[in-house]
Structure 1
């Protein structure tokens, strides 16, 4: 049982408390699966069969990235629509859907990965669908479950600080995994949701406020990336638990069986990889 009294309003802005709540939430979902609203048969709303991807320059997609994108092509025959965005088309979409304030926030995103983070929030909140990163390769047919109901679907992750490595996905669900020197959070890849989901609304508003704030170089992960989405999720989950309402999201246990990330891609060795960009920035 999550001790709500340990997490006062606004706790999500404290990294330690955010991680601790995320750990408790994972165990709560594991031990109380019936509390998650996963049956979309009672709802007129569902996750649209739209696949959203992003690459900043459509004229310079590396061959190895193109191969990853192509692996998803068989979803077309399953009735999925494809939406591929670039920096230019994302700016146009955001301007048409949201207006000048959000366009200004998008322009302040200082790296393609950050702009991709922001676009996925804008699109999935507005229209719903499934976003996957351009370096994800489709494996089996488990993807169909992502569209099966009206729940938001997110992948839980855990980073072990001492070993500087990710905890295997299967270990995250084990009850003996402590929060000491570990960061529990959700990834923003994949991101599957119906239009208008309150977690995405909160994440988009938080990212927009931070991008338009006083920080001249807002950090990617906490501003638009997984840290931002985790903050929105745990704040929303706290409200649901406090009101004794069912969860309207699912923490995925089997994403690794649906798709895998290719880590040996050529762009990871240069500034197109946001981690390399932040390493350069930290030296100045």
Structure 2
């Protein structure tokens, strides 16, 4: 019996186990994926994508985070900063009516940010980071060394009621019991038209246009959505005997730091306050 039957990615337990499996697989074959995939993949363009819903009201502490990336202009990066209005206009120009309707149903700025990043990186390729990420050093260069999709693995420890340290996720002796393994949707780095982002956008669009009047952020447009898309794609590659065209980042915490003590986290702009997460 197949441990991961068709549609398994919609079951959180199976999806978590599968993400754990591919993390261990990458650990065992740390260089093989990139070396086998790189010649066939397009490059990731140096386009830095960020989002803040209201350009007239960017808090000073968030602006400081954004400005930490300004040095990348000297490295040939294009900067793309979106807000609610410019995101709607971009989606209308690059996609169709379904995607426009889905974006209009995104009920919170975080959800609209989730949706826009999928649209942009799918259409043009590039490097998305959250507005509260601070650049730390030169490690970003590693992300652009080949054309594989790059995402960050995460793990929530249910017993401890908290996130695990990034380094611990890669421990081969780590038990999966009582833990939820997934991938974050910050950062996302990919060439244009990557199949994982195509799957993620399709899934999110279908859920937003479905019967649920209040679709939940995390599973509809956020990390749960991207994790489901990645798991389905990775399983397809396994069945076909093809190498992975993505990599799980082991060193994101040395590249950028998320700042938690920002003023907006205390009000409605923090989606966790709205959804009780």
Which of 235, 243, 247 is matched with 2:240 structurally? 243
CA drift of 1:40 comes to 7.2
CA distance in 1, matches of 2:176, 2:212: 30
Counterpart-to-counterpart distance in 1, 2:151 and 2:98: 27
CA distance in 2, matches of 1:234, 1:248: 12
Residue-by-residue CA offset, 1:83-120 (whole Å, 9 max, x unaligned): 00000000000001002211110010010000000000
What is the CA–CA distance in structure 2 between the aligned matches of 1:218 and 1:267, rounded to whole Å?
23
| 1:10 match | 7
Q: Is the 8 A contact 1:39 1:150 kept in 2?
A: no
Structure 1 residues 189 and 197: alpha-carbon distance in aligned structure 2, compared to 1, 3 A threshold = same
Structure 2 unpaired stretches of 5+:
none
Aligned to 2:270: 273
Flag the 1:27–1:150 CA change in 2: closer, same or farther, 3 A. same
Partner SS state of residue 114, structure 2: helix
2:189 aligned with 1:196, yes or no?
no
Matched, 1:172 2:197: no
Distance 1:160 1:6 in 2: 23
How far apart are 1:124 and its partner, in Å? 0.2
Q: TM-score, normalised by structure 2?
A: 0.97
Q: 1:40 to 1:83 in 2, by over 3 A?
A: farther
2:124 equivalent among 124, 127, 149: 127
Q: Which residue of 2 aligns with 1:221?
A: 218
Question: Do the aligned residues in 1 keep the contact of 2:102 with 2:209 (CA within 8 Å)?
Answer: yes
* Aligned match of 1:115: 112
1:33 deviates by 2.5
**CA–CA distance in structure 1, aligned partners of residues 37 and 68 of structure 2:** 28
Matches within 5 A, 1:87-98: 87-98=84-95
User: Hey, what's the Cα distance between the residues in 1 that align with 2:263 and 2:136?
Assistant: 21
Q: Which residue of 2 aligns with 1:66?
A: 63
Secondary structure (helix, strand or coil) at the match of 1:133 reads coil
TM-score, structure 1 normalization: 0.95
* Shift, 1:39, TM fit: 6.7
Structure 1 unpaired stretches of 5+: none
- Regions of 4+ moved over 4 Å: 38-41
